[in-house]
């Protein structure tokens, strides 16, 4: 929302339509893509062609989404961004839906399907505690006096670890009464206004996607970052970098090496060694 209103110079009421149009289209395109993929016949199978040929369009549409277009009148500019938003969500659907359905195509064996699903979902451990400590320490250095930790995904061990580590790090320097917790789906506009009524507050989300949603809420409420409230995320995504979000990034080469070693162990039938923890590094942005 900040990009559309402050960079692309689209009025907030109109800018909201860019996300709304994309999300509404996404709700219809997901089942449609599943129907198309299920009925596809090709030498590469029902899923792989869409993943292969959809990925370049996904990357391109994401880049186009963050470009500034000097087009007049404003309504025409709005239509351009809405079109790009639809292109992005379409490309994402073309890749994500077949990818999510890929495991049943690989084997009919129940045990192998279960194993593949587990390996697809998690291969290495990131340093959740170290990343949370880095973010929390950074906020303490900024003289933050109250911290709200927002867990984006319920019953997610990684997100729970990040919350516990943030609380431990925070309470080692501040009183426990100054630390608050909530789930993203329970977060209300009233809670945001109450939390940001006084200076010195910060919100730490368990991943960047959640932080982007909170960021939009804060800007919609007329709050200025970081003057009135500070905001941090976790994961170091491209979208986070585009808006200057303070977040945590991981050593890409170490992450790839650890994942490859686990894959090689799996292919060779060897017992996988203990998961390596990939160290986290703070990336301070303009939101703190």
Domain with residue 177: its CATH number is 3.40.50.2300
202 occurs within a structural domain: yes
Domain end marker among 83, 118, 153: 118
Statement to judge: residues 113 and 133 lie in one domain: no
Number of domains in the chain: 2
Q: Single out the residue in 64, 88, 118 at which a domain terminates.
A: 118
Task: Verify that 102 and 158 share a domain, yes or no.
Answer: no
**In terms of domains, do 113 and 129 share one?**
no
Write out the residue range of the structural domain in which residue 241 sits.
Answer: 125-251
284 domain residue, yes or no = no
In this structure, is residue 281 part of a structural domain?
A: no
Give the pLDDT score at 121.
47
Instruction: Identify the domain boundary among 118, 139, 170.
Output: 118
Are 103 and 41 in a shared domain?
Answer: yes
> What pairs with residue 229 in β-bridges?
201
Q: Do 80 and 132 belong to one domain?
A: no
- Is 222 inside any structural domain? yes
pTM higher than 0.85:
no
Q: How far from 202 is each of 136, 163, 236, CA to CA, in Å?
A: 10, 14, 18
Position 263 in a domain: no
Q: Are residues 227 and 141 in the same domain?
A: yes
> Do 8 and 105 lie in a common domain?
yes
For residue 277, the cross-strand partners are: 125
Mark whether 27 and 104 lie in a shared domain.
yes
CA–CA–CA angle 177, 179, 184 (5° rounding): 135
Output the pLDDT for position 171. Answer: 96
**Rounded-to-10 torsion of CA 247, 251, 252, 253:** 180
The residue ranges of the chain whose pLDDT is under 70 are 1-2, 106-107, 111-125, 252-253, 255-276
Rounded Cα distance between 108 and 113, Å, is: 7
Q: Flag whether 269 is in a domain.
A: no
**Is residue 256 in a domain?**
no
Instruction: Please indicate, yes or no, whether residues 82 and 189 belong to a single structural domain of this protein.
Output: no
| One domain for residues 58 and 151 | no
């Amino acid at each position: 929302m900040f990009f559309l209103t402050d960079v692309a110079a689209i009025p907030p009421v109109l800018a909201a339509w860019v996300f709304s149009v994309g999300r509404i289209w996404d709700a219809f395109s997901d089942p449609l893509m599943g129907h198309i993929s299920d009925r596809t016949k090709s030498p590469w199978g029902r899923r792989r062609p869409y993943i292969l040929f959809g990925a370049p369009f996904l990357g391109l549409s994401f880049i186009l989404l963050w470009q500034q277009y000097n087009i007049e009148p404003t309504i025409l500019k709005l239509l351009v961004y809405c079109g790009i938003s639809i292109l992005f969500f379409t490309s994402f659907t073309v890749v994500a839906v077949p990818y999510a359905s890929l495991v049943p195509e690989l084997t009919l064996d129940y045990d192998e399907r279960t194993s593949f699903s587990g390996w697809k979902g998690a291969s290495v451990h990131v340093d959740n505690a170290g990343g949370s400590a880095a973010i929390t320490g950074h906020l303490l250095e900024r003289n933050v006096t109250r911290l709200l930790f927002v867990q984006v995904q319920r019953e997610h061990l990684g997100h729970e670890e990040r919350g516990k580590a943030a609380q431990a790090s925070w309470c080692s320097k501040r009183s426990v009464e100054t630390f608050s917790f909530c789930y993203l789906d329970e977060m209300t506009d009233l809670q945001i206004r109450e939390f940001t009524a006084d200076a010195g507050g910060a919100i730490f989300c368990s991943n960047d996607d959640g932080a982007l949603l909170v960021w939009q809420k804060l800007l919609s409420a007329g709050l200025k970052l970081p003057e009135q409230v500070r905001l941090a995320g976790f994961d170091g995504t491209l979208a986070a970098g585009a808006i200057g979000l303070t977040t945590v990034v991981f050593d890409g080469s170490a992450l790839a090496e650890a994942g490859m070693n686990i894959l090689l162990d799996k292919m060779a039938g060897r017992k996988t060694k203990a998961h390596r923890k990939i160290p986290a590094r703070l990336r301070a942005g303009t939101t703190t």
